[in-house]
Structure 1
Amino acid sequence: MDFLSAWILSPSALPFLCLIWGTQAQQAFRSEPRNLTVRMGATAVLRCEVLRASGTVQWVKDGLLLGPQRSLPGFPRYSMIGTPKRGQYHLQIEKAQLEDDALYECQAGRSESSHAIISGSAWIDMLIPPSKPYFEVDMAAPWVAGKKYTVACIAPDAKPVAEITLYKDGVELTGAESFTMSGSKDKLLNMRAEVTVTALSSDNGRQLACHANNPALFRPVETTMAMSVYFPPQPPVIVGLEREEVKAGRTLILECVSHGGNPLATLHWTKNGDILSMTWDEDTVAQKSSSVLLLKITPADNQAVLCCESVNLVSLSPLSVSRKITVLFEPAEVTLSGSLSAIEGQDLELTCYATSSNPPVQIRWWLGYKELNTSVVVMEEGANGGMTTMSNMTHRVSREEDGLELTCEAFNKGTRFSKTQTSKLSVYWSTVRLVCFATGGNPTGTLTWFKNGRVVTHAQKQTSFDRGVAREVVLVLTASDNMATYRCNAKNEAEKTISAQAKLMVQFPPVSMKITTKQVELRQGQVLTLECLSGSSNPKANISWSLGALRFQGVEQPPRKAEFGGVSVHSSLSLTLSSQHHNQRVICHGHSALLAEGANTFFKLNVLYPPEFKPEQPKQVQVVEDDIATIPLLVSANPEELSCIWRHHREKLVKERDVRYDWLDDNSLEIRNVTRKDAGVYMVKCTNDEGVNQTSIMLDVQCENLHTENG
């Protein structure tokens, strides 16, 4: 066999064999193998048909005989198929692999009747798909938005070499450079593709994909990698401070929100540069950081700058939002200074001073129920950026004003602030001159005045004349002078005292007026009973009542004896309360027909009532589309603290549902960028501690072009 093989493997011997055997029946190829291209894993069949096969037929792979048996032992994936009787010796290779990439020949060995024959060479070109491609990119640290990075993908061990296409978030990356390199085995090649990528904030979490393809694949193989890109957050915004004006004492609930950023932003609050809070929450689903600040507003916060800063690892500098707040605060003190006693016809000079406030308060003066206008007001800069207010008032007094309450009121209509200081005015009007004369005696006497046994200290100096001495006392008559005994004593070194005296009969109006009630809280619909007690008067005072322009006669009880030899009078008044009575003054008058002057006092009504909509409350509001609609709410209540809920199409209106909604300090509704969908009936329900009330307002939204035509 070895000899035969040698002959078969030596084609130059074939002509010699032909000469020996002549032209007997020769073996010949009906079909010879041809080059094949085979995908890895497929079945390859090289055809070989021999006519008049008489010698041993077998296959040669790269010069190595595979053997004559059809099962081809030693080559489990190889076999010869076909019908031997028909001369079919096809080579079948199952599950083709890289090792099958070789040169093949079909040979028929020499026989007694034929010489050996060898087919033409056929090449099996194996198509080997690339192994799973992989990235070579430094992702140990996340990328930073705006920077450039080199992304490389390797498609290893392919035949022929694979083509690589790179994608970012599904979009093909152009400009990639490719390099071919040796694979892990002979005949296999690696492909390396590189491309430069500029990282974007939008790339975070998105995929880089590498597709590798060659003829061995029906579709490309793919590998992906999620990009982690660091990028700065968006500038923060402050929620909850719609208006820059805030009342002192209010607690603001402010939220600082910064969207985006990887990592999410860290937040902190400052006030005038001082840190208030360094805590925040992160919402990875909504991709935002938020920090809630509770800030109790004090007057010292006026013109303070609130700032929220956001920053993360890749921020070039902190991003911030600042809001300057204007604090509305009331004066801490209101003081009244100056003398409140004067003789009839004299000028009172009084000062009312309100400490710093914002906005500055106004000051007005009341004497009884009459407002005084003779004042000069001076405003100056005060603490916490506010203004102080000082009012200097000059008033010439009359006897009718004796006993009246002088009130200094500091108020601000915008903030509904009011604070008062009240003192009682004392006016002296009737004067009596009592002169004591003493004659004779050696030495002359010393004169001393007494009132009801007590020395009168304000008597004038003693004077002398040719017959003796005299001493005068000027009395400004008061109620205490009624039935008072004034005595003058004369005494010299002889230790003898002589005296003269006079008893005064003085008429005077009530020395005081006082209104009381047993009811602590006054409510709408209740019957209020007021008791007015006049102090001692001579003669008896007549009591009357007034409320605004209305006059009432109360129920008067019999007079009682009182101090200074006078009498006091008690009168009661019953009044059915309504909301219209709130803040009004009920005045009690004490007067006698025999006297020009009288006395007065008042009781200020504080009537509790549920919300009431004023008669001026509009029932319909018209607005042009895209303008700002303001639906006013004219409502009064006591207590004034009330909450109002607005509804449209039965849905409660909240700012979170539509940022176009805004509520003014008086609970009026403001809608920005009005559309026709906003038209319709708006229901508003207001509540305070006393009850609930509601009303409806129609919003009529007109088209802009229609409005223009009508205009």
Structure 2
Amino acid sequence: IQPQEFVQIPVNQSVIEGSTATLKCQVRNRVGNLQWTKNKYALGIDRNLPNYERYSMVGNPARDEFHLRIVSVKLEDDGLYQCQVGQTEAAEGIRSNTVKLTVLFPPDPPQILEAPIAAVILGKPTNITCLVKNGKPGAKITWYLAGKLMNRKLYSTEMFTKSNKRVDTKGNIMLIPKTEHSGKLLECHAINEALQNPYVTRVTLNVQYPPDITMKINITGKIRQGMNVQLACEGFANPQQIKWKWYRNGKHLARQTASVLNLPSISHVYHDNTITCEATNSIGSTRKEKRLDIKYGPRFISASSHVAVDPRENAKLKCEADGNPQPSIIWRKKGSHNILGSGSTLELVEVNDADLGTYYCTATVVGFSEISREVLLLKNGPPRIMSDGKFYTSQEKTAHIECIAISVPKPVSMYWMKNGRTLDNTNSDRFSTNNEELPYGMKSTLEILKVHKEDFGSYNCSVANKYGEDIAIITLAEKDVLPMPYIIGGAVGSVAVILIIILACVIYHRYKNTDSGADSYTDSDSTMEKKKDVKSESPTLMGQWRQDYNKDLYRYSDNFDEVYNSKVRFSQHYHTYLV
């Protein structure tokens, strides 16, 4: 007897769900029963396999063909199959190789989680995910951007096998968005062995970015003080909704919320300032800045109004000016056109009386008007009181008595006394003093509340500096009050005078109209009396001070009267009449 042997044996197969699968098995010299096993479980020897509706053994029995046919393949048919021939007393049994029947399922259509529009940020690495479910085997994913296959290094794939043997596939692509990507289609292609053509899903890229801005200024040339300056920012953004902020030297200008900043009649204080505009949308903020270069004329930032020295000492007169460009400074002395020096400091060596007086520092910036300032060079000496000797007030009124002292250097003390007692803010509720510094000295005001009878009389005003002292006696006198009959009589008399003047005017006009036809005449030079202007000037406190001043230790120079006349201005006499 010939041994049993296989003529055809089954091979591994993959079939799509719903199709028909046929596993081949043909035997030569068969004497034993033939059956198929599925996952090591025997299906039976009847060719019709009655226990399995969709299973049967087909082929030509005469040729011992026992092919296993499975119709309408389902997922449950997926497994391991083997063709077996049983042994007999005359022959040994045989078994084919074990083969795998794989049932294929097409996946569900892919889904891009960010669809239909993926909002991505310019330049920021972003993951886009494509999910393909229920494939068997798991789907393969590829990516296309604007129709071009993307580099596989940019994406990855993960597969998750479920209990029903189906596989979910997740594909991720790392995209670094560029401006040109905006509006382009990103496609996810998914395919497995159950599909002839891939599934495709798409997402539109919306590349978002913070504002891209520029700053412009309305002036093309040099910016001069007083010009109307406008700074404008403009640009593009996605999203397009932009909020604007402006900063000056880093400080937020809270009221400026437009894309334009107006600086009308710009001043020098904006020179060298940094103006920043900030544009913000939901993605981020962008800044642009501009440093302002303002051209402006000279201005004095510090200058000594006077310098006091002792004889034979050196003196430094200072005068600092600001401008753009930086001002040039020259020095002259009053009455002379000679330039004594340049720069912010003029140094005089071993000063004598001839050096004393008024000096001018002149600051110049090309294209602007020059400016000048006086600086006095004075000689140190004892103080001198220059005040009226008498002040008037009434009882129960408030009196103010003033004492003005000229002193170079400044006084170290200035106080009031009456009847040998010092008057100040601490020893009386009604008496108080207030000392006010003047350019070349000090003014002390004694205030007396609710003047009493005993407050009238002489007061001693004393002033001292390190070179000496001066004392003045100032009188507070009671102001005369006219009796009531005098006041009434004066009022009646004034009314009468006014009525007489009105009557005279009426008579004059009537007389003039009557003689309007008469010939006019002109007084001859011999008969006309020539009018003379008579100008009388009573001595003033300043005039008296100037006369006395030049007689004492302050006798500096021939033009020193003019120095003080220009610099020490008292707007009124120091007689005080209080009501």
Q: Same fold (TM over 0.5)?
A: no
Q: TM-score, normalised by structure 1?
A: 0.31
TM-score scaled to structure 2, two decimals?
Answer: 0.36
Which has a greater percent of strand? 1
Which structure carries more helix by proportion?
Answer: 2
